[in-house]
Amino acid sequence: MSGTESIVKGLRSSGGEPGADGPVTRERWLGWLGIALGLIAFLITLPPFEVRTAVPSYLIALIALTLGVSSILGGEKRVGGGAVAAALFGALGAFAASHSGVSHLEVVVSWSALTAAMLRYATPLTFAALGGLVSERSGVVNIALEGMMLMGAFFAAYGADKTGSWVGGLLIGMLAGMALAAIHAIFAISLRSDQIVVGTGLNFLALGLTGYMYVDTYGANGTPDNLPSVPEVNLPTDSLGFIGQAISQLNLLVWGSLVAVVLVWIVVFRSRLGLRLRSVGENPRAAETVGISVFAIRYGAVIASGALAALGGAFLSIGFVHSFSQNMTAGRGFIALAALIFGRWRPGGLLAATLLFGFSSALAQRLPEFSPQLATLFQALPYVLTLIAVAGVVGRSTPPAADGVPYTREGK
Amino acid sequence: MSEQTPPVPPNDLGPQGATVGARMGIAMKAGGIVAPILTVLFAFLIGGLVVLITGHNPIDTYKAIFDGTGLQWLFPWTTGADRDTAAINLQQTLLVTGPLILLGLAVGYAFRAGLFNIGGQGQYIVGSIVAVWSGSSWAGMPHVLHVVLCMILATLAGAFWAGISGFLRAVTGANEVITTIMLNWIAIWLGVYLFSLGGPLQNDAQPDVPISNDVVSGAKLHVFWGDPELQGLHIGIFVALAAAFVYWILLNRSTKGYEARAVGFNPEAARYSGIKVGRTYVLVMATCGALAGLAGSLDVLGWQFHLATNDIQGTQLAFYGIAVALLGRNTAIGTCVAALLFGALLNGTSVRNLDPAVFEPELAQNLTTVIQGLVVLFVSADVLILMIYNKLRIRRKRPPGATAGEPVEVAA
């Protein structure tokens, strides 16, 4: 939804995104209304309202569902799909909340804690998904986000331990992620290997390598307790309602991830370099024709994606948990990939997706209080939503046109 | 890094083709076995370097791992107590090899049709779940009938799970890589939901253990070599070998297999010649899922006999299937050999079989993961070498070799 987008549209060989812009139609209104109702269905069962039966919520959710479906049928797939998702979310949440004791609810739904937890869970995903965005916008599929995060997680802990400072940890972690990304770049860009096979191999490699070094260095004792960690930022916002309380003590990297979203947006969508990056991802031949080096841009993008994903991993080990354990990322790289797709390869959409997934994680952490089963369902939510998104129910998620296609110069 | 004006890119073979890559390509055309062997040697070499750099002796390490595999049972000079130990170890190795063959085929068949099935894990888990449910029910059923029924149900479940991805690919064009990854996670959380405390399939007798019911004795696979109490070798290995034979028939001697290969080689041309590409995608993925689901049932009915939530979350076996398929070049025999190699590696580095005095099992397991990653990485590059070689061959208009004309399948 930007000016440069129209320039890229000119480069696009595939069609644009239907329903991304244009006048606000009746369908879109219905869709947004459905989203709002879906959320309301959940909210009325929570403090401070605490409706003790799920029936009203089901009714509201049903209305939201109907609105969503009619909106989809009217051609407004994206917002309508959002309404359908919100309706399901509302019904599920209402069921959970109304089947639990009021005292439990107070424990689970402390809004400020939940918001803070959401931001914490979203941070590693945001960094990694931004890495994925930079790489895929240049036309290189990056399935190795998981591996790059893991490298960042271990080497940040290792570096923080050896250098005695968290800054050193972050730098070493980022370098490790970039090293893995450089291998990805060599194989995917210069050797023109299948990018998904390479990424898969690198995930295994990172898993084995970090596990090996961790066992070899720290053995049975684990990482030291006094690991230097990324500091928290204390803000005097406690008096400003639950949002204020939520953000009064967040890790520096949480803020860093939000800044990174803005920076990536500016670089990719508002700068000359970004225009080149996107044109290489959409139509490399045309980009090469006007003198852009496809290889240089792609190398830069993939290595930058390694640094970003590694930051996400570093936050996990020295910002959040303050230790490292084997296979610490536990699939977060793939959730980040899901967020990237769900957010349609755009920084804003990606952030919305990581916050949503972060929220479902935060809920899942607290729900075992009264229902382990529901907690599990919330853990699976990101994957289900992504499955729905790529299936094109919520409007087709279209990757950059040349995403995953190795580039060969003319005449070779 | 790539430069702007190199006369020859780094991987373009000169007119003589006298590079390692070209020689490998020629060797592959000649024997088809040299490249995989070289790949494995490379991977072991680099793995050995990792061991060396971290201050251990790679030769001793590999020897200790080999001693744990039980393969020395095949040597006539292994006698007495050594032979008995080796027999037990070899049973363990083959116990892993059976499912690995199936999981390798499950990836290989998809590759042949130009699809990348990363969903082996989810399909395997779904198969395991169905096998453990059906194996722990219907206690009075006749033995053979019960076993066969459990296997069939698990196979169908796997087929259904993978079929979803095939269907989405056929109908909406959703990339099967993304959908299979998402379905993996959904399968994991589904399993956790079913077997966690209070879950629908959680053990009836032990309400505080997150584990399934035990498979009844009437549904266990017959152990034909070794002690049934000590996880002797069950008949599943023959099931796997039979599946490999069927795979060969299917691929090389059947219409469906021909269609799959044609679609893998060029979907547009296949569509033009009247092959229903969408239907082929669904069928291929379902076949892959069936193989992976069968693998899950072998493990459950053969030696696991129950599933804990930890088993569900910790299973990595299916990912080795990717390395097995790539190393085995997606052929029936190659897959069997590669499965034996990885089965031996996995078993030789297990806590049970590796002497901690020589090398810590925990380190060795990570070493196995490193080797797995390197194998996948190198194979990705040697598929490419083969493609370059083919291109050159066509360009030089040399008469095709003995095995020329075989399409190289790489997922797009």
Where does the pLDDT of residue A49 fall: very low under 50, low under 70, confident under 90, or very high at 90 and above?
low
Give residue-wise pLDDT tens across range A180-207: 999 999 999 988 888 888 999 999 999 9
Residue B17, pLDDT > 80, answer: no
Task: Say what the pLDDT of residue B78 is.
Answer: 73
Mutation for testing the B interface, residue in A180, A183, A205, A340 having most B CBs under 10 Å: A205
Phi/psi at B383 (nearest 5 deg)? -60, -40
Is the CB of A206 less than 8 angstroms away from the CB of B190? no
CB B290: neighbour CB atoms within 10 A? 28
Give the separation between CA B216 and CA A190, rounded to whole angstroms: 55
A383 in contact with B, Cβ within 8 Å: yes
Nearest to A191 among B173, B362, B381 (CB): B381
Is the CB of B370 less than 8 angstroms away from the CB of A193? no
Contacts with A372 from chain B: Cβ below 8 Å: 196-199
Contacts with B379 from chain A: Cβ below 8 Å: 197, 201
Q: Kindly report the average pLDDT of chain B as a whole number.
A: 83
Task: Say what the pLDDT of residue A50 is.
Answer: 64
pLDDT above 70: percentage of residues in chain B = 84
Give the separation between CA A406 and CA B42, rounded to whole angstroms: 25
For A192, left (φ over 0), alpha (ψ -120 to 50), or beta? left
Residue B155, pLDDT > 80, answer: yes
Query: How many A×B Cβ pairs under 8 Å?
Result: 168
Mutation for testing the A interface, residue in B312, B315, B377 having most A CBs under 10 Å: B377
CA of A398: which chain B residue's CA is closest?
A: B174
Contacts with B367 from chain A: Cβ below 8 Å: 208, 212
CA of B47: which chain A residue's CA is closest?
A: A209
Helix (H) or strand (E) holding A233: strand A232-234
How is residue A228 written in tokens? 């230097």
Distance from CA of B354 to the nearest CA of A (A): 16
Distance from CA of B199 to the nearest CA of A (A): 7
pLDDT above 70: percentage of residues in chain A = 85
For chain A positions 244-273, those within 8 Å of chain B (CB to CB) are none
Distance from CA of A64 to the nearest CA of B (A): 25
Contacts with B384 from chain A: Cβ below 8 Å: 191-194
Q: Where do runs of H (alpha helix) occur along B196-316?
A: 236-253, 255-265, 267-272, 277-299, 309-314
Task: Say what the pLDDT of residue A104 is.
Answer: 59
Distance from CA of B282 to the nearest CA of A (A): 15
pLDDT-wise least confident of A75-79, B155-159, B200-204 = A75-79
The three-class DSSP label of residue B42 is helix
Q: Kindly report the average pLDDT of chain A as a whole number.
A: 83
Q: Which has the closest alpha carbon to B181: B164, B157, B159? A: B164
Is the CB of A208 less than 8 angstroms away from the CB of B371? yes
Distance from CA of A382 to the nearest CA of B (A): 9
Contacts with B368 from chain A: Cβ below 8 Å: 208
Average pLDDT of span A220-227: 82
Average pLDDT of span A61-78: 80
pLDDT-wise least confident of A159-163, B25-29, B117-121 = B25-29
Give the separation between CA B225 and CA B229, rounded to whole angstroms: 11
What lies within 8 Å, CB to CB, of B126 at 6+ separation is B157, B158, B160, B161, B187, B190, B293, B296
Is the CB of A215 less than 8 angstroms away from the CB of B366? yes
Nearest to A198 among B185, B370, B380 (CB): B380
Give the separation between CA A404 and CA A383, rounded to whole angstroms: 22
Average pLDDT of span B31-48: 80
Average pLDDT of span B219-231: 81
Where does the pLDDT of residue B15 fall: very low under 50, low under 70, confident under 90, or very high at 90 and above?
very low
pLDDT-wise least confident of A242-251, A270-279, A311-320 = A242-251
Distance from CA of B300 to the nearest CA of A (A): 23
Contacts with B178 from chain A: Cβ below 8 Å: 337-338, 341, 386, 390
For chain A positions 274-313, those within 8 Å of chain B (CB to CB) are 293, 295-296, 299
Phi/psi at B178 (nearest 5 deg)? -65, -45
Task: Say what the pLDDT of residue A8 is.
Answer: 41
Nearest to A386 among B182, B360, B374 (CB): B182
Average pLDDT of span B18-37: 53
pLDDT-wise least confident of A23-37, B199-213, B231-245, B337-351 = A23-37
pLDDT-wise least confident of A143-157, B149-163, B366-380 = B366-380
Nearest to A201 among B367, B368, B380 (CB): B380
The three-class DSSP label of residue B225 is strand
State the Cα torsion A406-A408-B1-B2 to the nearest 10°: -160
Q: What is the sign, positive or negative, of the torsion defined by CA atoms of A290, A291, A295, A299? A: negative
Give the separation between CA B135 and CA B301, rounded to whole angstroms: 7
For chain A positions 155-214, those within 8 Å of chain B (CB to CB) are 183, 187, 189-194, 196-198, 200-209, 211-213
CB of B133 within 8 A of CB of B297? no
pLDDT-wise least confident of A146-155, A327-336, B200-209, B256-265 = B200-209
Give the separation between CA A202 and CA B380, rounded to whole angstroms: 11
Radius of gyration over every alpha carbon of chain A, rounded to an integer in angstroms: 22
Give residue-wise pLDDT tens across range A12-31: 333 334 334 445 677 778 88
How is residue A76 written in tokens? 């407004």
A19 in contact with B, Cβ within 8 Å: no
Task: Say what the pLDDT of residue A48 is.
Answer: 62
Task: Say what the pLDDT of residue B411 is.
Answer: 39
- Beta bridge partners, A277, equal none
Residue A91, pLDDT > 70, answer: yes
- Beta bridge partners, B211, equal B308
pTM, to two decimals: 0.82
Task: Say what the pLDDT of residue A410 is.
Answer: 62
Task: Say what the pLDDT of residue B55 is.
Answer: 86
Q: What is the sign, positive or negative, of the torsion defined by CA atoms of A281, A287, A288, A293? A: negative
Contacts with A209 from chain B: Cβ below 8 Å: 50, 366, 370, 373
Give residue-wise pLDDT tens across range A76-86: 777 777 788 88
CA of A326: which chain B residue's CA is closest?
A: B366
Is the CB of A384 less than 8 angstroms away from the CB of B172? no
Where does the pLDDT of residue B386 fall: very low under 50, low under 70, confident under 90, or very high at 90 and above?
low
Is the CB of A293 less than 8 angstroms away from the CB of B2? yes
Is the CB of B368 less than 8 angstroms away from the CB of A190? no
Task: Say what the pLDDT of residue B21 is.
Answer: 44
Distance from CA of B224 to the nearest CA of A (A): 34
Is the CB of A215 less than 8 angstroms away from the CB of B4? no
Give the separation between CA A303 and CA A174, rounded to whole angstroms: 10
Give residue-wise pLDDT tens across range B326-353: 888 888 999 999 999 999 999 888 877 7
Give residue-wise pLDDT tens across range A263-279: 999 999 999 999 999 99
What lies within 8 Å, CB to CB, of A406 at 6+ separation is A188, A189, A192, A193, A195
A380 in contact with B, Cβ within 8 Å: yes
How is residue B194 written in tokens? 């079913």
Contacts with B193 from chain A: Cβ below 8 Å: 373, 376-377, 380
Contacts with A206 from chain B: Cβ below 8 Å: 373
Mutation for testing the B interface, residue in A145, A184, A197 having most B CBs under 10 Å: A197
User: CA B150 from chain center: how many Å?
Assistant: 22
For chain A positions 91-150, those within 8 Å of chain B (CB to CB) are 143
Average pLDDT of span A381-398: 73
Residue B397, pLDDT > 70, answer: no
- Of residues B230 and B72, more confidence is placed in B72
Give the separation between CA B49 and CA A189, rounded to whole angstroms: 26
Where does the pLDDT of residue B13 fall: very low under 50, low under 70, confident under 90, or very high at 90 and above?
very low
Is the CB of B189 less than 8 angstroms away from the CB of A207? no
